Amino acid sequence: MSVTSLSGAFGFAPQSAKSTAGTTFYWYKAYNIDYGVVIDERPLPQEIGDSLVPTGAFRASAYSAGGLDFTPRLEDDFGWLLAWAMGEDGVVSEVVPGSSNPQAHTWTLDGTENALSWGTVHVMIPEAADKLGIISIDNKVSMLRITVPQTGLVTARMDLAGRLFDEVTDNIFENNASGAGWTPAFEDFDSTPVAAKTTFKIDGVSSGNALEMTGVTMDFVNGLTTPQQEMTVGSYSPDDFTAVSRNVTVRGTYKWPSDAFFRQIVGGSAGATTFSDEVFKGSAEIQMKAPKEITGAYEYSLTLDFPNVVFQMTNPRLAGANIITTDIIGTAVATAGSQFMTAVLQNGSTAGPYTWPT
């Protein structure tokens, strides 16, 4: 018989410390969940006196990895994913002075932050009569991608790496997953941002107006140590996943309205005729909104601001019976006296604050 995926679920709980399982779970509807157990299983090496074929095998390590593809709902729980990815607590402020609704949650990175938070993951796998629960502790976020299509819903992808189990517990499965930690509760659809209410701006380009883009993608990457680097004698699980680098890239397809931006990137100014040996750098902002209003004229929104981005542009594509487009690729950089990036999630008074347990 066949079993469908629709009653499956992905949830996570913030951890107060390594090896301390989280207890407060947040659940996310997803299009695809490919997170689970990874086992490093190897054949025995060939030995003198052996045969031409393997004569055995052994397990060297086990951990968890993978992620999920989903549409972010800005109502509340997406803020916990931002806090998890950035390793920072959101700072709450009033959008309207004297009122707590709506409110803004702000994460600010200057590029020196190197501590990431731990999280416990629960994945529910449907079976014919019940559900199998997969448990993994000590997870960190390796990548958060936000994609704005030409039309339609904004989507996201989050990748994780986890220790799976440790010296405290070796439980990785929950039979008949239900009860505490296994009761999904999902947010509604109406706080999901859409492409039609998204803007992408670059300082000094198009007079500060939104650029005509046919798609934009932002990748926030935490470069983590690998399971192989983190293995220690006496354990099947990696000891840690430490951030050794962090970077943000923004890329998208730009409808060619004129040669001004192309000249700016290649030559340094909108009217340039010669090559410039300096990179083109400007601030960038992506703002995504949902159609639903929180209160009054205030909508659910997520604004990503990057004060210093180094931009490149591909040569314009000339194709028969088609419009001219070019690809923009930007890399955020940290400079003295300036922040690396800021994320602002605007939602209602019932959301957050996104403070990681200690």
* Residue boundaries of the structural domains of the chain: 9-40+57-347
Tell me what the mean pLDDT of segment 240-266 comes to: 95
For 323, counting Cβ atoms within 10 Å of its Cβ (0-12 exposed, 13-18 middle, 19+ buried), the class is exposed
Residue 167 has pLDDT above 90, yes or no: no
The pLDDT score that the predictor gives to residue 180 is 84
Structural tokens at position 157: 């992808």
pLDDT tens track for 310-345: 999 999 999 999 999 999 999 999 988 889 999 999
> Mean of the per-residue pLDDT values for the chain?
94
Nearest-angstrom CA–CA distance, 192 and 71: 7
Q: Which two tokens stand for residue 75?
A: 């109502």
Q: Indicate whether 33 pLDDT > 90.
A: yes
The alpha carbons of the chain give a radius of gyration, in whole angstroms, of 23
Percent with pLDDT over 90 in the chain: 84
Quote the pLDDT of residue 201: 95
